[in-house]
Structure 1
Amino acid sequence: MRVGIAGAGMIVPTFLDAAALVKEMEIYAVFARREEVREEFCSKYQIPVGYASYEELLADSKVDVVYVALPNNLHFSFAKEALLAGKHVILEKPFTVTYEEAEKIAAIAREKKLYLFEAITNQYNPNYDKMKELLPKLGDIKLAALNFSQYSSRYDNFKKGIVSPSFDPKNAGGALMDLNIYNIHFVAGLFGKPFKVRYCPNMERGVDTSGILVMEYPDFQAVCIAAKDCGAPLSVSIQGNKGFFHSDYASSILAEFTFQENKCEPERYHLADNPERLFYELETFAKYYEEKDWDAFDKRLDHSLMVMEIVDQARRMENQGL
Structure 2
Amino acid sequence: MTATPRPVRWGILATGKIAHSFARDLLLVPGAELVAVGSRRPESARAFAAAYDVPAAYGSYAELVADPAVEVVYVASPHALHLEHARLAFEAGKHVLCEKPLTLSRAEGEELVRLARQHDRFLMEAMWTATHPVVRQLVGDVHAGRFGTPRQLTAELGFPVEVPPEDRMLNPDLGGGALLDMGVYPLTFAHLLLGEAEQLLGVATLSPAGIDLDVAISGRYPGGAVATMSASMTSWSSRTAAVATDLGRLVVEDFHHPTAARFVPYAGGDGSALGEEVVLTGTEPVIGRGYGNEAAEVGRCVREGLRESPLVPHAQTLAVLGQLDDLRTQIGVVYPDERR
TM (normalized to structure 2)?
Answer: 0.87
Decide whether aligned partners of structure 1 residues 163 and 296 sit closer, same or farther in structure 2, where only a CA change above 3 A counts.
Answer: closer
Aligned position for 1:268: 279
**Structure 1 residues 238 and 319 mapped into 2: Cα distance closer, same or farther (>3 Å)?**
same
3-state DSSP of counterpart to 1:181: helix
Q: Which moved more, 1:133-142 or 1:29-38?
A: 133-142
In the TM superposition, residue 273 of structure 1 has moved relative to its aligned partner by 4.4
1:3 counterpart = 2:10 = yes
1:239-254 correspondence to structure 2 within 5 Å: 239-249=244-254, 251-254=255-258
Secondary structure of 1:97's counterpart equals coil
Gaps of 5+ in 2: 1-7, 268-274, 335-340
Letter in 1 for 2:149: D
Structure 1 position 38, deviation (Å): 1.5
- Provide structure 1 residue ranges, at least 5 long, that are not aligned to the other structure: none
Identity within the alignment, %: 25
Give the Å deviation of 1:59. Answer: 2.2
User: 1:93 is matched with which residue?
Assistant: 100
Matched, 1:80 2:87: yes
**1:163-218 Cα shifts (integer Å, max 9, x gaps):** 31101122111111111111111111122211112111111120111111222224
Counterpart pick for 1:153 among 162, 171, 185 = 162
Pairing partner for 2:236 from 227, 231, 235? 231
> Residue 166 of structure 1 aligns to a residue in which SS?
coil
Aligned 1:10-21 pairs, distance under 5 A: 10-21=17-28
Q: Give the alignment partner of residue 198 of structure 1, picking from 188, 198, 201.
A: 201
- Distance in 2 (alpha carbons) for counterparts of 1:191 and 1:53: 42
Q: What's the CA shift for 1:260?
A: 2.3
Q: Deviations over 1:93-114 (max 9, x none)?
A: 1111000000011012123321
Q: How many residues align?
A: 314
Matching of residue 257 in structure 1 with residue 261 in structure 2:
yes
Residue 29 of structure 1 is matched in structure 2 by 36
Partners of 2:176 and 2:319 lie apart in 1 by 20
Partner Cα separation in structure 2 for residue 129 and residue 102 of structure 1: 24
Q: 3-state DSSP class of the match of 1:30? A: strand
Match of 1:54 among 53, 58, 61: 61
For residues 229-265 of structure 1, the C-alpha deviation after alignment (integer angstroms, 9 at most, x for no partner) is 112322101111122211221x321221111232121
| Matched residue, 1:104 | 111
Q: Secondary structure at the match of 1:311?
A: helix
1:314 correspondence with 2:323? no
Distance in structure 2 (CA, Å) of the matches to 1:35 and 1:296: 33
Distance 1:21 1:77 in 2: 29
Q: Secondary structure at the match of 1:138?
A: coil
Separation in structure 1 between the aligned mates of residue 225 and residue 33 of structure 2, nearest angstrom: 45
- Match status 1:167 vs 2:170: yes
Per-residue CA deviations over 1:108-163 (Å, capped at 9, x if unaligned) read: 21233210011112101111111122211333322111011222233xx5xxxx43
Structure 1 residue 297: Cα displacement: 5.3
Distance 1:30 1:143 in 2: 43
Q: For 2:333 and 2:42, locate their aligned partners in 1 and report how far apart those are by CA, in whole Å.
A: 42
Residue 209 of structure 1, aligned match among 210, 213, 228: 213
> Aligned partner of 2:159: which letter?
Q
Structure-2 change in CA distance of 1:28 and 1:274 (3 Å) = closer
Contact preservation (8 Å) 2:103, 2:109:
yes
CA distance 1:296–1:163, change in 2 (3 Å): closer
After superposition, the CA RMSD in angstroms is 1.9
Mean Cα displacement is larger for which, 56-65 or 306-315?
Answer: 56-65
Residue deviations 1:11-50 (CA, integer Å, cap 9, x gap) = 1111111111123222111111222212111222121111
Identify which of 295, 302, 305 aligns with 1:282. Answer: 295
